[in-house]
Amino acid sequence: IPLSSGMILLTWQKIAPTALLYQISPSLNMEILIMLAILSTLLGGWGGLNQTQMRKILAYSSIAHMGWTVIIALINPNLTILSLMIYIMTTLTLFMTLNLSSTTKIKSISNLWNKSTPMTMIVFLTLLSLGGLPPLTGFMPKWLILQELIINNNPTMAIIMALSALLNLFFYMRIIYVSSLTMFPTNNSLKHHWFFTQTKTTNIIPTLTTISSMLLPLTPILIIIT
């Protein structure tokens, strides 16, 4: 499917079921939620390991992130909304950047160096944020969810979820490693073009990049709110 359609499926389409999950959270069964969360994180992690298409990788990443969103719905529903909001912002940033540069495969990310170095760095930062690597924004919901699980006497679940997150971080790091360290740009010229033609999309991307990578210092405020 086109990148724009994939972006809608992985962002907008999640709002309605998550809103329903939030409303019925007091009547949910904890054992079922735990089982679904573990299956989602493991399936999303293992499924993305052998993929080369960015759309498939992001699809499996979406499955894994829903595991994090689901497991905290009964304990702290506000964290469910926070996790979804950060995921949507980060995914929008990545999809807009990939759509602007017409990038659909891991191999083609290495060619981004010839088009725009800043665009390549945005892709790398967003991928690391999706993987939950500190000190980027994506680490915030995982940190808060793990903290809530430990507070509610679920240290085993916290350990399992943390280890499953390493699977996602691994294939994100593999993308960065392959595209930046093992594939030299095919263009013979070493001159990089730093800007695309200005459009409304390119004006939005810097704002979304800031949100998806630099909100970790706001964690104490969000702890008070949630």
Residue 92 in any domain: the answer is yes
Question: pLDDT digit string (tens) for 8-17?
Answer: 999 998 999 8
Given a cut of 50, is residue 190 above it in pLDDT? no
**Which among 222, 211, 197 has a CA at the least distance from the CA of 94?**
211
Q: Is the pLDDT of residue 226 over 70?
A: no
| Poorest-pLDDT segment among 105-109, 131-135, 160-164 | 105-109
Please state, in angstroms and rounded to a whole number, the distance separating the CA atoms of residues 6 and 103. Answer: 13
From the centroid of its chain, how far is CA 118? 19
Encode pLDDT of 42-90 as tens digits.
999 888 888 888 889 999 999 999 999 999 988 888 889 999 999 999 9
pLDDT, mean of residues 156-164: 90
The answer to whether position 173 is within a domain reads yes
HSE, side-chain direction, 13 A CA sphere, residue 129: 29
Residue 201 pLDDT grade (very low, low, confident, very high; cuts 50, 70, 90): low
Whether 194 maps to a domain, the answer reads no
pLDDT band at 214 (very low <50, low <70, confident <90, very high): confident
Would 99 be classed as within a structural domain? yes
**CA–centroid distance for 6 within its chain:** 14
Helix (H, G, I), strand (E, B) or coil at 182: helix
Residue at 88: amino acid letter: I
Give how many domains the chain has, as a whole number.
Answer: 1
Quote the domain boundaries for residue 97. Answer: 3-183+202-225
Burial class of residue 38, CB neighbours in 10 A (0-12, 13-18, 19+): middle
Q: What is the pLDDT of residues 114-149, one digit of tens each?
A: 666 778 888 889 999 998 888 899 999 999 999 999
Q: Is 53 helix (H, G, I), strand (E, B) or coil?
A: strand
Q: Does residue 126 lie within any of the structural domains?
A: yes
The pLDDT value recorded for residue 100 is: 84
Domain assignment present for 197: no
Alpha helices by DSSP H, listed for the chain, are 3-10, 12-23, 30-47, 54-71, 77-101, 106-110, 112-115, 117-130, 139-151, 155-177, 200-213, 219-225
Burial of 189 (0-12, 13-18, 19+ CB in 10 A): exposed
Is residue 220 a part of any domain in this protein?
Answer: yes
SS3 105: strand
Alpha carbon of residue 80 to chain centroid: 15
Banded pLDDT at 188 (limits 50, 70, 90): very low
Cα separation, 155 vs 158, in Å, equals: 5
Whether the pLDDT of residue 199 is over 80: the answer is: no
Mean pLDDT of the chain: 83
Domain assignment of residue 192, yes or no: no
Q: How far is CA 37 from CA 31, 60, 68, 87, in A?
A: 10, 14, 6, 16
